[in-house]
């Protein structure tokens, strides 16, 4: 088996939010990867017999024997259908890890993560890695969803939010949000942060429209699109 091809066993399947499910794969030994990377799976074949591949970000941190994959299930989606048929104990083969949506080797200033929906999945391990760096400035997470039923990882984000350098803001674009949630979409609050930041780097992940609008706004605000902005678009599967 190629060094880039791995097999894991489905260890747990856990609903997290409305239509959002986590699959945990138990590996023979911890998978070596960098937070932010993804794996690729063959989830079917097209009418010509060619493999249909889908990519999924790793939602857990390195050094563990289990890796987590989180999906927003889409009715009729090829990847969603394939994952929905998995059962605990089943073997899963995948290629990877791969991808360049990873942390810079160092940040001279503040770091902002802007995510929508399950675009949050690679961000948790990235946050953990970033907060372990003493030289980084302030760290912000802006996470947008439609309403409360779409949210998950409350305990995990609450634990990280205790860090003095991290600010977590959750936005809901649907009904009036309860508690510490904020109303609306994340692009305007993201751009409002810019004047308060010091040498910032931005990581934009999730809905393609959000990424397009946020990136355009950041560039208009004077951010360098090559040096200060990293993007990863998520698509329905």
Integer Cα distance of 110 and 157 in angstroms:
19
Same domain assignment for residues 228 and 116: yes
Check residue 180 and give its pLDDT: 77
Helix (H) or strand (E) holding 213: helix 208-220
Check residue 229 and give its pLDDT: 97
Question: Is residue 174 pLDDT above 90, yes or no?
Answer: no
Check residue 1 and give its pLDDT: 45
Same domain assignment for residues 115 and 92: no
Q: How many domains does the chain have?
A: 2
Cα radius of gyration rounded to whole Å, the chain: 18
196 in a structural domain: yes
Same domain assignment for residues 139 and 222: yes
Query: Final residue of a domain: which of 42, 77, 98?
Result: 98
104 in a structural domain: no
pLDDT tens figures, 11-28: 999 999 999 999 999 999
Percent of the chain with pLDDT over 70: 96
CATH for 224: 3.40.50.80
Question: Is residue 48 pLDDT above 50, yes or no?
Answer: yes
Same domain assignment for residues 31 and 73: yes
Question: What integer best gives the mean pLDDT of the chain?
Answer: 93
Identify the CA nearest to 153 among candidates 231, 161, 213.
Answer: 161
* Distance, CA of 79 to chain centre: 17
Same domain assignment for residues 92 and 171: no
Integer Cα distance of 175 and 33 in angstroms:
38
pLDDT tens figures, 96-135: 999 999 999 988 899 999 999 999 999 999 999 999 988 8
Residue 13: domain span: 5-98
210 in a structural domain: yes
Query: Final residue of a domain: which of 65, 98, 131?
Result: 98
Cα dihedral across residues 81, 83, 89, 95: positive or negative: positive
pLDDT tens figures, 210-222: 999 999 999 999 9
Query: Final residue of a domain: which of 53, 70, 98?
Result: 98
Same domain assignment for residues 79 and 22: yes
> How does DSSP classify residue 201?
E
Cβ neighbour number for residue 22 with a 10 Å cutoff: 19
Same domain assignment for residues 85 and 53: yes
pTM for this model (two decimals): 0.93
For residues 6 and 46, which has the higher predicted lDDT (pLDDT)? Answer: 6
CATH for 90: 2.40.30.10
Same domain assignment for residues 84 and 130: no
Q: Kindly provide the residue ranges of all beta strands, DSSP E only, lying in 100-223, ordered along the sequence.
A: 111-116, 139-145, 166-172, 182-183, 201-206
103 in a structural domain: no
* CB-CB contact of 230 with 130 (8 Å): no
């Amino acid at each position: 088996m190629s060094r880039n091809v791995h097999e894991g066993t489905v260890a747990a399947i856990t609903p997290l939010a409305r239509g959002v499910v986590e699959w945990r794969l138990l590996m023979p030994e911890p998978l070596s990867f960098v937070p932010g990377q993804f794996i690729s799976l063959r989830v079917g074949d097209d009418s010509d017999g060619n493999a249909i591949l889908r990519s999924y970000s790793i939602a857990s941190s390195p050094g563990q024997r289990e890796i987590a994959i989180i999906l927003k299930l889409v009715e009729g989606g090829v990847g969603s259908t394939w994952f929905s048929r998995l059962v605990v104990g089943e073997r899963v083969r995948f290629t990877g890890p791969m991808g360049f949506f990873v942390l810079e080797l160092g940040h001279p200033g503040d770091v902002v993560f802007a995510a929508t929906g399950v675009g949050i999945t690679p961000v948790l391990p990235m946050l953990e890695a970033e907060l372990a760096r003493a030289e980084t400035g302030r760290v912000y997470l802006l996470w947008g969803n439609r309403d409360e039923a779409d949210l998950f990882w409350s305990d995990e984000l609450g634990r990280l939010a205790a860090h003095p350098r991290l600010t977590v803001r959750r936005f809901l674009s649907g009904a009036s949000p309860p508690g510490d949630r904020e109303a609306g979409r994340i692009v305007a609050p993201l751009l409002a942060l810019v004047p308060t930041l010091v040498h910032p780097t931005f990581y934009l992940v999730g809905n393609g429209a959000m990424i397009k609008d946020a990136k355009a706004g950041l560039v208009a605000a004077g951010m360098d699109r090559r040096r200060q902005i990293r993007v990863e678009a998520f698509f329905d599967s």
